[in-house]
Structure 1
Amino acid sequence: MHVLFLHDAFPAQFGRLGLELTRRHGWRCSYLVQQLSSCPTPSREMLESLEIHQLPLSADHRSSEGIPWPQIFGAYLEQCATVAEALRARPGLRPDLVVAHGGRGAPTLFLRDHVDAPLVVYCEYYFATSHRDISYRIDLPPAEPAPFFPRCINAPTLAALVDCDAGYSATRWQRDSFPDRFRPKIEPLFDGIDTELYRPGPPPQTLPIGGKDVAIPSETKVVTFVSRGLESIRGFDLFMEVASRILRERSDVLFVVVGGEEIHYGWDRLHTGSPSFKQWVLGRGDYDLSRFLFTGRILPEHLAEILRRSDLHIYLTAPFVVSWSLFNAMATGLPVLASDVAPVREVVESGVNGLLEPLFDVDRLAATALEVLARPADFEGIRRQARRTIEERYSLDACIPPIKGFLERVASGRGAG
């Protein structure tokens, strides 16, 4: 079968999926994308095995400021026209099925005019008007976010959902973020974690930081925090407060922080007046930065090494799409201390395969972290169950067969299950 994937970036959610469908089942997987991503970075095998057609970046996408959000729907229409023109110019791209990322990454409006194939939309998330995602951090300095921002960013998602034959979301919670009338059209299907890359193993004695191998003494405890962007929606400021409390009790802890300084979601610039939420946070606290290693963005294989050296992984998110880093840490067999919010509870059962504490209770988070660091043997069962959860429910072996079956159903005209 020939599947055409549409997304702003590659590999994003579709690169590994296409690679597995090609490897395991001999499918032809082609892509229309605007850019190659660094989060995650495409592997050499992806670039060699998959058929990637790159579209020119628009001036808005080239800008470091991105598209002003009141203009999102207009930019979406322009992107739809660009994709339609690209398909006209590539007569060999006549797939059996089209899979497009919902929202700004799903330029599907004119597809029916150029491709005679069923359409699947990846329904990543539907933004809320309040009490969730970017509006959840009311503890930060006041800003005046426009109340219609969620409606602007959701409009392309709704257009794609109306037009598609079926949709899928990574988790049930993400599926349930959509309006009730669309949920029967959306199946929860996770895309899969590479459990060969992210696995328990001997901890390395050096870590790849900033292009160098940094030696870590064996007696040092390592705590990890990973986020595509170090921003408020992923609780970077709360993590720094937790870390500061840990350091008051222990001098043998090193915090390894993975992620860029970009703000991808929310109102951080309005809250802080600074383009970097990380720098704003560090400038407001009295942190012993000699106990922190900030890596920036790194390759997946380097992240896997860092996680294998970690003694505890901290994941603090507002109610929003669950990050790959949570699954990667669990696959590595780490004890994960995470925020007790609904999307995380779908994956983590506190005391069984991880530990949950209230997002804003820094004292409880620090106390639980100190307990894990002081008595690691007591948490061996949680480590093993974390790995087992990923193997059984979220690994590539567990996830590719149901996604393949779903895509085959839609391609044959049977739609969502």
Structure 2
Amino acid sequence: MHVLFIHDAFPAQFGRLALELTKRHGWRCSFLVETLSSCPTPTAEMLETLELHQIPPAADGPARDETPWPQVHGRFLEQSASVFDALRARPALRPDLVVAHGGRGAPSVFLRDVVDCPIVTYCEYYFAARRRDISYRVDLPPAEPAPFFPRCINAPTLLGLVDCDAGYSPTAWQKQSFPDRFHSKIEVHFDGVDSELYAPGAKIKAIDDVSIPPATKVVTFVSRGLESVRGFDLFMKVADRIARRRSNVLFIVVGGDETHYGWDKLHTGSPSFKQWVLDRGSYDLSRFLFLGRVVPERLADILRRTDLHIYLSTPFVTSWSLFNAMSSGAVVLASDVEPVRELIEPGVNGLVEPLFDVDRLTETALRVLDDPATHSPLGRAARRTIEERYSVDVCVPPLRDFFTRMSERSRVLS
């Protein structure tokens, strides 16, 4: 079985899955990508095992994340043409199945003219016009593009979904974000957490040159970008209140300064949302470690050490960081939004509080830090949730069967 994965970055959602399909089942997994990602970074094993074909960006101009929103559709068509040219130039690269990210480089507009196999689209998310994802933060000044951006960013996703043979979403909530008329075409299959890497274990005693005494409590916050859609500013408010009331707490923040979703820069005027937040508060930054982006192995060490992991996202795609924290056995305090509720059962495998209620978030966090023995069962239950429902061992077999079923169905129909 030869699967061709298409995404503008590697490894993204497909790298670990492809590695497992190759190692466990002997499949040939190849990739067409534009760039190697820094979040997550590809492992040496991925680079040695998987077949990567790196192609130049579709056209000169801004990067994908910097493309003005009215031009997103045009860039998608250019990207589709670039993938078409890359496949036509590689006649030996003829897969049994194509799996492409529906919002980031699924080139099915032209793909059927160059490959003779079924196409599966990864249906990560369908943006809402209001009161979800990037428009949920009504406490911040609204951005002018808000009503129009979702329609532009969804256009490539719809093209891929209409033209593919089937799609899949990682969670039921993400599937439900798509229009009802497409639900019958989308199955739910999670990507799979590396539960061997993100696992409970020995706790580190230092980070970089900063030692962590045994009596120190560690609170963690992790996001690819420190931005409003992931509640970085709300976390800082909670952290500030904790710091003023407890002297033995260290806050470790992992994530880059970039804004990946929304228009934080339009209403802050600052180089980064992180800097805007820090400039507006009187934080004791000696109590914080801002580590930027880190490699997965380092993140796993940090999550093993945490006494409380705080996750404050709007209703949006659930971050890998939440799954990784739960897999590490961390006690998690998260925003009470629907996608989180699919993963966390309050009081059983984690805790939730309203996203904008800084007082309740603070009080709940303090209870956890003051009484770890009472709350530690939450972390153990979180670990079981990942092992039983979201680990690579659990998720890869159904995805393998889904991919096989799709390719065999195509052969029968043809």
TM-score of the alignment, normalized to the shorter chain, above 0.5: yes
Q: Which amino acid in the other structure matches residue 112 of structure 1?
A: R
Contact 1:171–1:189 (CA under 8 A) maintained in structure 2: yes
Q: Which residue of 1 aligns with 2:165?
A: 165
Q: Which residue of 2 aligns with 1:297?
A: 293
2:369 counterpart residue number: 373
Determine helix, strand or coil for the equivalent of 1:104.
coil
Query: 1:32 aligns to what SS in structure 2?
Result: strand
**Partner AA of 1:165 in structure 2:** D
Q: Give 1:117's aligned residue.
A: 117
Which residue of 1 is the match for residue 186 of structure 2?
Answer: 186
Aligned residues: 411
Identity %: 71
Which sits farther off after the overlay, 57-66 or 266-275? 57-66
| Secondary structure class of the residue paired with 1:187 | strand
Contact 1:60 1:67 (8 Å CA) reproduced: no
Alpha-carbon distance, 1:372 to partner: 0.3
Instruction: Deviation per CA, 1:97-152: give whole Å up to 9, x if none.
Output: 00000123212211110000000000000000001000000101343224121010
Q: Which amino acid aligns with 2:85?
A: E
Tell me the CA shift for residue 202 of structure 1: 1.5
Aligned to 1:233: 229
In structure 1, what residue type is equivalent to 2:128?
A
Q: Which runs of 5+ in 1 are unaligned?
A: none
How many Å apart are 1:213 and its aligned residue?
4.4
Cα drift, residue 237 of structure 1 = 0.1
SS at match of 2:258: coil
How far, CA to CA, are the matches of 1:181 and 1:65 in structure 2? 29
In structure 1, the partner of 2:150 is: 150
Separation (CA, whole Å) in 2 of partners of 1:345 and 1:297: 27
Equivalent in the alignment of 1:222: 218
**Contact between 1:122 and 1:169, CA under 8 Å: does it hold in 2?**
yes
- Alignment of structure 1 residues 376-387 onto 2, 5 Å: 376-387=372-383
Deviation at 1:60, TM superposition (A): 5.6
Q: For residues 38-96 of structure 1, give each alpha carbon's deviation from its aligned partner in whole angstroms, at most 9, with x where no partner exists.
A: 00000000000000000112456655972111011111111111000000110111000
> What is the TM-score with the length of structure 1 in the denominator?
0.97
SS of the residue aligned with 1:393? Answer: helix
Change (3 A) 1:60 1:335: farther
Deviation at 1:153, TM superposition (A): 0.3
1:30-179 matches, cutoff 5 A: 30-58=30-58, 63=63, 66-179=66-179
The normalised TM-score by structure 2 is 0.97
The alpha-carbon deviation at position 413 of structure 1 amounts to 1.6
Mark the runs of 5 or more structure 2 residues left unpaired by the alignment: none
Counterpart of 1:340, as a letter, is: D
Measure the CA separation in 2 of the matches of 1:24 and 1:4.
Answer: 17
1:259-408 equivalences in 2 (<5 Å): 259-408=255-404
Alpha-carbon distance in structure 2 between the residues aligned to 1:332 and 1:60: 42
Give the secondary structure class of the aligned counterpart of 1:271: helix
Determine helix, strand or coil for the equivalent of 1:99.
strand
Listed one character per residue, the Cα deviations across residues 263-299 of structure 1 (whole Å, up to 9, x for unaligned) are: 0001211121223000000000010000000000000
Aligned alpha-carbon RMSD (Å): 1.3
SS at match of 1:29: strand
1:3 aligns with: 3
Is the 8 Å Cα contact of residues 223 and 230 (structure 2) preserved in structure 1?
Answer: yes
